Every structure is written in structure tokens, then in C-alpha cells.
Structure 1
Amino acid sequence: MVHDVISPPAAARYYAYSCLAGYLVTENSIGFLDKLNGFEIKTFKTKRHANQPLATSYALIQVAKQMLPSGYQLEKIQLELIAHFKGKLSEKSLEQSLALGNLAANHVLEYAKTDLFNELSAKVGYTPTLKPGYWYPTPPAYMEAVEPHWNTVRTFFIESADQFKPVAPTPFSMDSESDFYKIQLMGVYNAVKNLNEEQTLIANFWDCNPFMVEYTGHMAIGIKKITPGGHWMGITGIACKKANLNFAETVKTHALVSLTLHDAFVNCWDEKYRSNRIRPETVINKHIDQQWKPILQTPPFPEYTSGHSVASSAASTMLTKIFGENFDFVDDTEVFFGLEERHFKSFKQASNEAAISRLYGGIHYIDACENGVQQGTKLGTFIVNKVFDK
């Protein structure tokens, strides 16, 4: 994901299909498969000699290998996986394990072909408008808008991309007495100007921007990071390990969180290109302060609602259902990227912090964060009720 600089919605899609393949191997009954949109139920019961961890891991990697742009690089990991088990399993067990993994992977890959993702490249690109209040490419790279047609990709659980349509954003206005100017615009401007050390740490911890670019002279250098979805997949792994979930429960939990994240991004991106709202940096630089810069680099897509707010709230709702309201954990997901770990008393505390981090970072208005939390919570609650209502 990081190597290919995958966009947040696309990353969530790759996580979802890979984890779904693993779930097919470990699930011995229908489970939640009958809740998935357009999915042909075909469970893969473990053969007598198959090793479940090997078959599951092989299926997950096989899907990623086929779907990701640089998936061929996973060949080495796949071979290392087989080598790890080779001396521990009989030839028959090894053969059945890989066969089972391939069956699950192929079924998921066929399912993925029907989600309309492959049609996105044929759609007309996004053209920014110069009308006041509408999104326009932001510095330093002025990248074109990312995934303007993502709302056409099939969802897994929710009924349509606009099922959880948030309230409309605060109307754009440069009238100094308007709510947009006084509350939204100046709220971002003043928040960044008056950040304390803790707020700065929060902004950076939840940055999760795979599009960050730094310039050295005329040379552009891409700073590779995980996406918001990747951060929550990391939290999922941390929670599974702390709770001592068994193998099947761990696989199921990763599948549910990844599928929820996918739907959250489809839902959020539907609103982004409907409201098409301008980013704070663009307005502030043009009308208030040419030298002002956000703490975080503004990502290349419309502002409303906040993707991290929607995705984090949806993921935390699912994780809260699985692990409980007061699940205490240490999030070290970002340590690999040079940031210190953070302690949270619940998934909701973490998701709320992720949401407000966008205001501290200077890339979102207050209503995009607050309404994004509501949007993601409603979506997550819908999926929880759909999956667990037997």
C-alpha cells in the first residue's frame, strides 16, 4: 500500500477483499456472507489435512498480489510463508492448504471484478471550477482531484453510496458576520495559530496522508505514509492481540473492520464530490493571510466531510461492538513512521481524536469533522446491526 501510494478509498478496497478471502477460509458456515451485496455464497470448509493459518494467509496474500499495482512484490513473502510451513506439514497438508487458499482467493477475485472499480479509468476526469467556495487544487503539488467517481464502486453492506448523506455543509460566505467566516474559516485559522504541543502531536499522529510531497529546490520528494484505513487496520491488530482472540476470531475481526472502512470511504467520497467544498488553505491564503500554512499538507480532494472522521467513527463503532466500550489500548501504529505511541481508553476516544486532528492540522473545517463523526457512526451502527442481528 505504502509503496504504491494508494489513495485512502482504494486502500480500503484492497484491505477489504484481501481480508474477505482470509475469512472465507476460516468460516465454516455462512457467517455474515449473506449480508454482502452481490456476493455468491460459497463457503470453503477446511479440508481434513489443510492447515488453516497457512491457507488463510496464502489466500489473503494471493488476493493482494493480484489486485495491487506492485502486487508481484508479494511473491517473495508468499514463498517465505510456504517455506515456513514446509518442514512442519506433510506434503498432503501443504498441498491441500495451498489449494484451499487458492479457491478462496479466486472466488474473491471474481467478486471484485464486478464492483465497477475497473470502469473508473474510463470516466471523464474532474475539472475544478473557479466559482467561490468550490474545491481547487492545493499546494505544494497542486495534484488533481483523487477518485471523483468513487461513489460508483459497489458497497459491501450499505445499500447505496448516499445512504448516510450528512447534513449540508455551512454555506460558503466571505461576509465577516456569516457562520462560515466566523465559525468555520476563522476556527481553522485560529486553531492552527494557537496550537499547543499536545494538539500538534495529535495532528501529526493522525496525519495518514499518502500524498505528502516535499520540495528540495526543483525536486519533488514523496513522503510515503499509511492511509487512515491503514491506521485502523493497525489498531485492529493491536486489539486482537491484546484480547487474545483465537485465529478465526482475529481473521473475522479484520474482515469486518476492513469491509466497514471500505463502505465508509464510498459514503464519504459521495459527499465530497457533491458538496465539492473548498479547502481552508485556499480561502485563507487568498482572503486572509498569504503566508498561512496548515500544520498538515492538504490532501488532493474536496473538503466535506472529513474522510478520517467518517472512517474512524465507522471503524471504532465496529471495534466497540466486538471488544466493548472501555477497551484500553496503546496505539503504536505510527511508530514505524517516527511518531510516538499514544494511549487510548476506548476506540471512541481514538476516533474522536482522529476527527479533531483534522482541525488541528488545518485541513478541515469544524463542521466537516463533527458531521463526519455523525456520518461514520450512523454507517458503522447500520453495519453492526446488519451483521450481528441474527
Structure 2
Amino acid sequence: MYETVVYASPNHQSIIGQLADTLLVPTPDRRQAYCWELALNAGQAYMLRALYGYTGKTQLIDSLEQVIRLRYAARVSAEIAERSERFGKAVATTIYQWSKSDGGHLGYQRNFPADYTRPTGTGLWVPPVIGQSSVRRPLHPTWGQNRTFSLQNSQLSLPKPLAYSTDTTSAYYTQYKEVRDRKNTLTEADQAMVMWWGDDPGETCSPPGHSYNLATIAIRTSQADLPKAAETYARVGMAVADAFICCWKTKFSYMVERPSSFISSTINGKGQWFPFFLEPPFPSFYSGHAVQSAATATVLANLYGDQFSFTDNTHANRPDLVYYRQVPLPSTVTTADYLDPANYEKYQPTFTRQSISFRARHYSSFSSAALECANSRLLGGIHTRHDNEVGLTEGAKIGRNINALPWHKGR
């Protein structure tokens, strides 16, 4: 988006040289006229087909591209329209080809690599008994090796997790116990907040999708022009992409266990403990939701000011969620009995039916939304406070590195 429309602004400049100093992206003929909306439309349609063609649903992309084309092509000559679309597609083609070398190309074909050997040991992550995935392998264990957009983000040092300890006075024990105790006091409002930030890609948009909608809200609320809108999407996209790469590098360096494991084996002593929110299939430290929401908040605040009041409508039109909450097994069933594969059929979990309504949520700033997102992971039972706090801190660093790119002339 950005590299297509940057030439429509006298104040913006290309940043591609900062991301890949050997990549040559097409530039427009400055002696000719262009319709930047048509260029952008053609490039985005190409990119979406390239990324999502495997779904077999490209007719939706075709339809949207045609609607936008008809709107803007009527305002310019056929020659300008053709030149603009050719340029936009050329930029998109070049960047898509470059993207193939980032380590994540066709990643959907290897979500749960069978050849990955999971480390085992005290305090290390184990697949959840009941979670978001039925596959008992981690999701994308090598994602942390992918190329970041910002070189500085690839050079960030790994933060440290809490030191494993069964001492009841230790920070490790105390924070995991907080997760268990907090679940016992969840209100309906707490549950609604957890589910609002759930962003389980098997059910709704992903966490980056939620962040992109916040970007859209900022753009529309402030009535940003085309170059600033493209810059907004570019910054948010780069920030959340780098956030998940950095996060996954940390997760699979330490392989820290989820609260359900420690609570079940050490704090509860008997009976398997389940979080309120379904557990995702990868290690705990640190929180992906926290890091990407803080990275998003950092770039949006830099563009629009942090004291930016907005209403998040991401899930506002979603039907009420009817779900089934875990009912604990009798205390006579030990964790070892429950986790023994020989007993999987014998000790099937039972559930009670509950419902949650989705209502748009209002925030006074981007940082307050990021903080609530992070806190929702503790209330959901899948992250400790340390996971969330480190995620917020790292996300701010990642966002600042994206902001530091020379987006504007004179920088």
C-alpha cells in the first residue's frame, strides 16, 4: 500500500531501502498522471489473490476490485487508468516476490510440523489437554526465525521469564496462583472482556486483524488522507508482524509452561485445572496478544496521539456466543490419572452451557486498549501477569522501531 501511494504525497518518502537495501521497487514516471486509488486497488487485489488464492474464494476479491475500479476509472481517462493499474500491480508483484524469502511463505501448509521435537522437562510447555487445537504439537515453532521488517527488531535481546519454583513464596508460584484464584472471581463483565479480545482465528479475526480494525477506526475517525491511511496500515502491519516474530523467538527459546500445567501439577495437587479461555497450542512466555497490541498502540499513538478516544466495533456484530464451560472432575481423580493416555476415554470432561453477548467497547486511548487486551489474557487463565507485562514492554520497543523508520522527508 505505502510504496504504491507514497508518491502522491509531498511529505512522505519510500522506506523500502530501509527494509531491503537490494530490492528495487518500481517507481512512477513523474512526467505522467496517475490515479493513486486505482493503482492501490490493483496492487491490493493482486496481493490478496497471491496470499489467499489457495482458499478458492477469490471471487470476493474480484468483486471488490471491480466495484472500486468502476468508482475511480470514471473520473480519469482510459490511458491514466491503465497506467495506474499497471504501476500498482508492478509494485505489489515485486514486494510479494520479496516476501517469499522471509521464512513464512506458504506457512499455512506447515502449521504443526510433524518433524519438530518438543523439549521436555520440569516447567516446560506441554500441549493442552483441551485447547484451541486438537493437534498435540506446537503451532509454528520456527516462526521466530523469520525476517523482521525492522532490522532493529531482529536484534532485540530476549527478555527473561520468571525462574521456575515450587516455593509458595516465589514469584513464579505466586503469579501462577493468581491466575487460578482470578478465575474463581470472574464476573460476567470480566468474561465479556476476555472474549472480546479472544480473537481466535478459528472463530473470528486474528489478533492482527483486530489491530488492523483499530487502524481503520483511527483512519476513519480522523478522516486521514490516502498517504496517511496507507502509512497507518503499513506501520501497524509491520509492527504486528515483527511483534509475533519476536514473541515466537522468545516462546520457543524458553518453552515456558502455561498456567494450566503448573496449577494442575503443583498448586491444585489433584484434578486437572482448565482456564476460562481455551488454551492456544504454543508456550506461554510472553503474551502474543500483549506484544502485538502494545506495538499497535505505539504506532497509532505516534500517528494520531495516544489520547485518541474511540469505540472498538471489531466484534460488535458478532452473534451472542453460546459456549460450554468446563466442570471440574471429582477431587478423587488425580492429575496423573487424568493425563494418562490410557484414561482419555474414562475421564471425559463435562461442560455447562453459558452465553456471552458482544457489545462495542469504548477507550480513551490506544494504550488503554492495549492494557485491557493484555489483562484479558490473565483473566482468561492462559497467561501470568509477568507474561503480559513483558509483552507490553517488548511491544512498545517494537513499535518505536517501526516509528523510527524515515517515513517523512527531512528525517
Q: Give the alignment partner of residue 196 of structure 2, picking from 205, 211, 216.
A: 205
When residues 71 and 349 of structure 1 are mapped into structure 2, their CA distance, relative to the original with a 3 A threshold, is farther
SS in 2 for 1:35: helix
Q: What residue number does 1:148 align with? A: 141
Query: Is structure 2 residue 375 aligned with structure 1 residue 356?
Result: yes
Alignment of 1:61-80 (within 5 A): 61-68=45-52, 69-70=54-55, 73=58, 74-80=61-67
Query: Is structure 2 residue 132 aligned with structure 1 residue 132?
Result: no
Q: What residue number does 2:343 align with? A: none
Is the CA contact (8 Å cut-off) linking 2:213 and 2:314 kept in structure 1?
yes
When residues 111 and 313 of structure 1 are mapped into structure 2, their CA distance, relative to the original with a 3 A threshold, is same
Q: What residue number does 1:252 align with? A: 231
Query: Is structure 2 residue 163 aligned with structure 1 residue 171?
Result: yes
* Cα-to-partner distance string for 1:256-294 (whole Å, 9 max, x where unaligned): 111111111111111010011111123323441635322
SS in 1 for 2:311: strand
Is the CA contact (8 Å cut-off) linking 1:313 and 1:377 kept in structure 2?
yes
Amino acid paired to 1:151: G
When residues 356 and 178 of structure 1 are mapped into structure 2, their CA distance, relative to the original with a 3 A threshold, is same
CA distance in structure 1 between the partners assigned to 2:9 and 2:249 by the alignment: 32
Distance apart, 1:376 and its partner CA: 0.9
Distance apart, 1:81 and its partner CA: 3.2
When residues 79 and 172 of structure 1 are mapped into structure 2, their CA distance, relative to the original with a 3 A threshold, is same
Q: What residue number does 2:385 align with? A: 366
Distance apart, 1:26 and its partner CA: 4.8
CA distance in structure 2 between the partners assigned to 1:351 and 1:321 by the alignment: 15
Distance apart, 1:158 and its partner CA: 3.1
Query: Is structure 2 residue 69 aligned with structure 1 residue 50?
Result: no
Distance apart, 1:381 and its partner CA: 1.8
Amino acid paired to 1:153: N
Is the CA contact (8 Å cut-off) linking 2:103 and 2:146 kept in structure 1?
yes
Is the CA contact (8 Å cut-off) linking 1:359 and 1:365 kept in structure 2?
yes
CA distance in structure 2 between the partners assigned to 1:134 and 1:366 by the alignment: 18
Task: List gaps (5 residues or longer) in structure 2.
Answer: 320-357
CA distance in structure 2 between the partners assigned to 1:71 and 1:95 by the alignment: 27
CA distance in structure 1 between the partners assigned to 2:22 and 2:288 by the alignment: 26
Q: Give the alignment partner of residue 300 of structure 1, picking from 276, 281, 302.
A: 281
Q: What residue number does 1:97 align with? A: 84
Of structures 1 and 2, the larger Rg is shown by: 2
Task: List gaps (5 residues or longer) in structure 1.
Answer: 1-18, 212-223
Is the CA contact (8 Å cut-off) linking 1:46 and 1:100 kept in structure 2?
no
Amino acid paired to 2:95: V
Is the CA contact (8 Å cut-off) linking 1:24 and 1:104 kept in structure 2?
no
Distance apart, 1:36 and its partner CA: 1.4
Is the CA contact (8 Å cut-off) linking 1:25 and 1:46 kept in structure 2?
no
CA distance in structure 2 between the partners assigned to 1:150 and 1:93 by the alignment: 42
Q: What residue number does 1:317 align with? A: 298
SS in 1 for 2:317: helix
My pick for the range that moved more, 168-177 or 70-79, is 70-79
Alignment of 1:10-29 (within 5 A): 19-20=1-2, 22-23=4-5, 26=8
CA distance in structure 1 between the partners assigned to 2:121 and 2:21 by the alignment: 40
Is the CA contact (8 Å cut-off) linking 1:26 and 1:248 kept in structure 2?
yes
CA distance in structure 2 between the partners assigned to 1:71 and 1:153 by the alignment: 27
SS in 1 for 2:204: coil
Is the CA contact (8 Å cut-off) linking 1:158 and 1:263 kept in structure 2?
no
SS in 2 for 1:386: coil
CA distance in structure 1 between the partners assigned to 2:260 and 2:5 by the alignment: 42
Is the CA contact (8 Å cut-off) linking 1:320 and 1:347 kept in structure 2?
yes
* Cα-to-partner distance string for 1:63-115 (whole Å, 9 max, x where unaligned): 12102232752233333433444545432233122212211111111221222
Q: Give the alignment partner of residue 259 of structure 2, picking from 254, 275, 280.
A: 280
TM-score (norm 2): 0.80
How many equivalent residue pairs? Answer: 358
* Cα-to-partner distance string for 1:335-367 (whole Å, 9 max, x where unaligned): 133421111111111111111110011111110
Q: What residue number does 2:212 align with? A: 233
Q: What residue number does 1:3 align with? A: none
SS in 1 for 2:154: coil
When residues 251 and 117 of structure 1 are mapped into structure 2, their CA distance, relative to the original with a 3 A threshold, is same
Q: What residue number does 2:104 align with? A: 117
Distance apart, 1:327 and its partner CA: 0.8
Distance apart, 1:59 and its partner CA: 0.6
Q: What residue number does 2:326 align with? A: none
When residues 280 and 142 of structure 1 are mapped into structure 2, their CA distance, relative to the original with a 3 A threshold, is farther
My pick for the range that moved more, 330-339 or 67-76, is 67-76
My pick for the range that moved more, 345-354 or 80-89, is 80-89
Q: What residue number does 2:271 align with? A: 290
Distance apart, 1:39 and its partner CA: 5.5
